[in-house]
Every structure is written in C-alpha cells, then in structure tokens.
Amino acid sequence: MKIFVTGACGYKGTVLVPKLLEQGYEVTAFDIQWFGNQLRDHPALTVVQGDIRNVEDYDLTGHDAVIHLSSIANDPAGDLNPKLTWEVSCLATALLADKCKRHGIERFIYASSGSVYGIKDEEHVTENLELVPITEYNKTKMCGERILLSYSDDMVVQIVRPATVCGFSPTMRNDVSVNILTMLALENGKITVFGGDQVRPNVHIDDITDLYIFLLENPEHDGIFNAGFENISIMDIARKVQEHVDAEIVVTPSNDPRSYRVNSDRLLATGFRPKKTVDDAIKELVGLYRQGAWTNDDSFHRMKFMASDILDQDAAT
C-alpha cells in the first residue's frame, strides 16, 4: 500500500513516517520543509518538497491513501497571518480532496483538532457537540472537516480531533503545554503558569501516530474521533513536571479562556488503546534534555520562528 503523507516533515509526521515504513508501507512524504527535513533515507520513502497550496507540486498517481497532517499549527501561529492560515489549512484541504477524488484515492485520514469545540462547560465533550471555533486555526480545521465529509461517498474519510500532543519528535515543538513547561523547568528552574485552571486534553505523540496507522488498517471505522486520553489542568501538568525536575511554579494571569475535556469513548470502542501518558512524555523529555538530545532551538517555537522568518518568505513569494 502506498501512502501520501502531507506535513510529513513536521512534529507528528517525523514520528509517523518511520512507523509507516516499519510496517511495510511505501510512503511519499510531502512537506514545504519550513522546519527542515529530519527523515532518514529509506528505500520505500520518497520525500517531496512542495507547497500544499499548489496542486502542481504533488502527484497522487499510484497512491492508495492520504494522511493529511499539514496546516499552520496552533492558535498563535494561525493568527499571525489569517490569509496564509486559511490558504494552507482550508483551501489546500479542498484542493487535495478534489485531487484525491480525481485519482481514485480510497482512503483519507485528516488531522483536525480537539480545539474545534471552543470553550465548553460540558463534563464530557463528545463528537456530537456543536463546534464553536474561536481562532483562525480552529475555524480552518472545522471547515476542513466539512469539506472532507462531503467526499465521504467517494472515499473512506476518517477525521481525528487530537488533543494537545506531547512528547519528543526529531522535528520538535516546544510551544505545546507539556513540552514547554518541561523545558521551562529544566532551563530556568522555574515554571511560569498562565492561569493554571484551564483544562487541556493530552495525547502522547506515540499514541497519536499509532492511531493514524490503526485507522489506516481499519477502514471500517470511519467518521470523526476525539483522541485525548488525559484531561489535565495546566497547573496539574506543572506539578507533574515538578515530580521529575526541581523547579518553582510561578502563576501569572492568562488571557486564554480555552478549557475543555474531551471524551474519547467512540475511539476506544474501536479497540484502539493508548500506551503512554503525560508522565511518560515528561520523563522522556527530561532524559533527552540531560543527554543533550533536546534543546530550546527557536525553530521549535512555531510562532516565534514563523514571525521572524517564514511569514517574510511567504510574503516575498
């Protein structure tokens, strides 16, 4: 089976692609490579550098399935340039879906986001609740979902709404809650928590990438799935970090009101089971930092890196 993976050189893609290759899949890894390419050479891997907004940059001939990861990732980065965010995360999804139909692609797995729900008071946020996205990133993900569902008569469409992903990747992100709080503790001996009461659902990067493969291997499970297995407040994450790193917690006010708890019973009913926890991610990150394998490079902070470099590049094209 030949798989076309977009965003293949990103945070999740760099973990997912080697797993697909290990399972015997042939993979085309498509990415604009704003954050470089950390994928290792493999006889079954073809890496294509291109812009997902340009359908001429990629060829779907001979592919059986698409795993669509590419987007302008996270709320602050998405708000930097709304036009770019809509083009990459929504328009490009529509173009890709149309090209998939024309090439007879049988399977489409879409990485949406658990943040499409917005602010919810419900104790259990299930897939049936109304979506009230509040940022450009959330809105584009919701539109991407609706576009793909309109193709469900043409191919199997599986939509994943991941919680906040945590853990190590060769193309790292230090701007997600577990990762950044762990880095703050290690570098500064101090964990700055903005607010703290906001609850975030979390999923380990190994589990979310395993899930994409699980869905690839189980096409009978179509539709929309939440993927978050630990609903933890930001303060509780900081306390978990404290269990592994001697650091002080400092609380400051926050203007981020998002707080939600996702329910993943629909996914668990398929037989999928997560294998790792937030605590696992923290322990792994601490160990890698102390070995010198994890750093605080600017490119690991999406908004900072995009604001200083990528947006200028895009404006010049």
d(CA 9, CA 169): 10
Coil, helix or strand at residue 101: helix
Residue 142 · residue 116 · CB < 8 Å: yes
Residue 29 · residue 8 · CB < 8 Å: yes
- Tell me the sheet residues that pair with 262: 125
Range of the domain at 80: 2-316
Tokens standing for residue 123? 């104790």
The pLDDT score that the predictor gives to residue 254 is 76
The pLDDT score that the predictor gives to residue 307 is 66
Phi, psi of 27 (to 5 degrees): -130, 135
Tokens standing for residue 84? 């770019």
Which residue is it, tokens 């992903």? Answer: 165
Q: How many structural domains is the chain composed of? A: 1
Coil, helix or strand at residue 166: strand
Find the length of the chain: 317
Per-residue pLDDT tens listing for the chain (317 residues): 999 999 999 999 999 999 999 999 999 999 999 999 999 999 999 999 999 999 999 999 999 999 999 998 766 666 778 899 899 999 999 999 999 999 999 999 999 999 899 888 888 899 999 999 888 999 999 999 999 999 999 999 999 999 999 999 999 999 999 999 999 999 999 999 988 888 889 999 999 999 999 999 999 999 999 999 999 999 999 999 999 999 999 998 877 666 678 999 999 999 999 999 999 999 999 999 999 999 998 888 776 766 665 445 554 44
CATH number of the domain at 239, please: 3.40.50.720
Sheet containing 107-111: order of strands: 45-49, 26-31, 2-6, 65-68, 107-111, 156-162, 223-227
Q: How many CB atoms lie within 10 A of CB 239?
A: 16
pTM above 0.85, yes or no: yes
